[in-house]
Amino acid sequence: MAIVNRTRDSFWSGNRHADLDSARRALDAAVEDGADIVDVGGVRAGQEGERVDADEEIRRVVPFLQDARERYPHLVLSLDTWRSEVARAADGVVDLVNDTWAGHDPDLAGVAAQLGAGLVCSHTGGLPPRTDPVDVRYRDDLGDDERAVVRDVLGGLRAGADAALAAGVPAERILLDPTLDFGKTTRNSLVVLRHTADVASLGFPVLQALSRKDFIGETLDLDADDRLEGTLAATAVAAWLGTYVFRAHDVRATRRVVDMVASIRGDRPPALAVRGEPPAEGVS
């Protein structure tokens, strides 16, 4: 899943495409580099940056999605929004609604169902849109914050999937995103990443948005421009543990990592067999 941010203030300067021509070039590059899905957003996730109302968000994303649909009729197009009115305005040009704020708008799942689109269900620890996680605490009865954050993530994602099903989104169109960084400290995000297999056990495809995130930056003490290697390491681990979709700024590198992990797991054959295949059993 490639990212095209129709913003001037995204946290990583390498994905700011407020200009329509720039966004088109980013789309073309993503497709060429191997993206299966393109996720289009019009609002920065964090609290810093511009205030963007629903009308402005629609102006940023819908015309671009319409243009992308005309140019790539078979590409899966995703809309990154928490607002039902924005999703409704994208009727006919969007295949997936990426709700990164965990059902903050209770009408969003129903709108996705009406559009015939899939829905990404997320976990934010109860925080509202564009809230940065400061002094977030997860505790269970034994004071075990690691177990508590995993339990909260699994419960929140299960509840999100149930709400999507109740709203009419078919099970095969629901994805689960544990949403690292959102409502989570760096330690929380690392713990949840280690428990990716538990998220996959809920029975829906898992989406991970790892690309250049703050938990990688804090772990390695690196700015966003220098977080590619950390992102790819996290990607490989998440892929091995069962993640199905990767939301990525660096499409070509991510595609190669995911394909390599799939081949190591035995889920994807090598692209070439120049060294030859072993002889059939009983043949010398």
209 sits in which H/E element: strand 207-209
Cβ contact 243:208 at 8 Å: yes
CA distance 153 to 104: 16
CA distance 17 to 27: 10
CA triple 174-177-183, angle to 5 deg: 140
What's the mean pLDDT in 273-280? 72
CA distance 197 to 282: 39
CA distance 267 to 200: 16
pLDDT at 117 over 60: yes
CA distance 231 to 168: 35
CA distance 34 to 176: 22
Architecture of domain 2-265: Alpha-Beta Barrel (3.20)
| Per-residue confidence (pLDDT) for residue 196, from 0 to 100 | 98
- pLDDT tens, position by position, 136-186: 888 775 556 788 999 999 999 999 999 999 999 999 999 999 999 999 999
Give the least confident one: 83-87, 132-136, 142-146.
142-146
Instruction: Give the start-to-end residue ranges of the domains of the chain.
Output: 2-265
Give the least confident one: 25-29, 120-124, 134-138.
134-138
Judging by DSSP bridges, how do beta strands 118-122 and 96-98 pair with one another? Answer: parallel
First-last CA distance in the chain: 45
Question: 9: helix, coil or strand?
Answer: coil
Residue 47 confidence class, pLDDT cut points 50, 70, 90 = confident
pLDDT at 34 over 90: yes
Residue 17 confidence class, pLDDT cut points 50, 70, 90 = confident
In DSSP terms, which residues pair with 40 in a beta bridge?
A: 4, 79
| Per-residue confidence (pLDDT) for residue 46, from 0 to 100 | 77
pLDDT at 68 over 80: yes
CA distance 176 to 153: 10
CA triple 175-27-235, angle to 5 deg: 45
Task: List strands edge to edge, sheet with 118-122.
Answer: 2-5, 37-41, 76-80, 96-98, 118-122, 174-177
| Per-residue confidence (pLDDT) for residue 282, from 0 to 100 | 59
Query: Which bin fits 186, alpha (ψ -120 to 50), beta or left (φ > 0)?
Result: alpha
Mean predicted lDDT score pLDDT of the chain: 93
Cβ contact 20:28 at 8 Å: no
CA distance 27 to 46: 23
What is the percentage of the chain residues whose pLDDT exceeds 70? 96
Tokens in use for 20? 């329509």
In b/e form, how buried is each residue of 90-111, taking b as 16+ CB within 10 angstroms?
Answer: beebbbbbbbbbbbbbeebbbb
pLDDT at 45 over 90: no
What's the mean pLDDT in 113-135? 92
Cα 47 to Cα 53, 130, 133: the distances in Å are 14, 5, 10
Tokens in use for 49? 């940056």
Tokens in use for 94? 């969007």
- pLDDT tens, position by position, 98-111: 999 999 999 999 99
What's the mean pLDDT in 209-232? 97
